[in-house]
Amino acid sequence: MIAAEDGNCRTLARCIKSGAPIDYRPPTYSSRPLVVAIVLSRPRTVEWLLDHGANPNSASYDDAASEPPCPLAQAVEYAIRPGILHNHIPRRWERQGIKVPCRKRHQQNSREIIKALRRAGADEQPLGDTERLHLDSIEAGTFCCSQHKPRLWYQRR
């Protein structure tokens, strides 16, 4: 999970090579690597995971998973309301000098993640009617209505 948090695809590759399932959710985490990469604005990691077989749709294997029912819906939400919640940011990032993406970068990363999920065949049905109708505009960053105008609702760091 730390590799997914930090965007370390080499470590993810070693884990897969050693036999770890790509959609594995360890007992100490409430989400799988794909969702962690989405939450922490890691588009390259999302693409890598999808290219290596991660399920672009929900893959909750048990009731202890607290990830959203639709990774695409989460990416859309972040494109509309960019920012990372403080409690999602790993504490070690500050010690290691890893920077949290600014609001504009997080929004751009979210759009890249939406593209990657759609290319991988993510199910768009769990999205609301308005989000499905305007998904192309949201992905392109050309917000089409007041409902999809980017808003900052997370606390800034």
CATH, residue 41:
1.25.40.20
Say whether pLDDT at 129 is over 70: yes
What CA–CA distance (Å, rounded) separates 59 from 1? Answer: 16
Are the CB atoms for 54 and 22 separated by under 8 Å?
yes
Whether 44 is in a domain gets the answer yes
The DSSP letter of residue 141 is T
Whether 77 is in a domain gets the answer yes
Whether 119 is in a domain gets the answer yes
Say whether pLDDT at 155 is over 50: no
Whether 62 is in a domain gets the answer no
Q: What are phi and psi of 50, to 5 degrees?
A: -65, -40
Whether 96 is in a domain gets the answer yes
* pTM reported for the whole predicted model: 0.79
For residue 59, what are the CA distances in angstroms to 86, 114, 134? 25, 17, 25
Whether 118 is in a domain gets the answer yes
The pLDDT tens digits for 88-126 are 666 666 666 777 777 788 788 888 999 999 999 998 888
Q: State the total domains in the chain.
A: 1
- Angle formed by the axes of helices 9-17 and 43-51, nearest 10°: 20
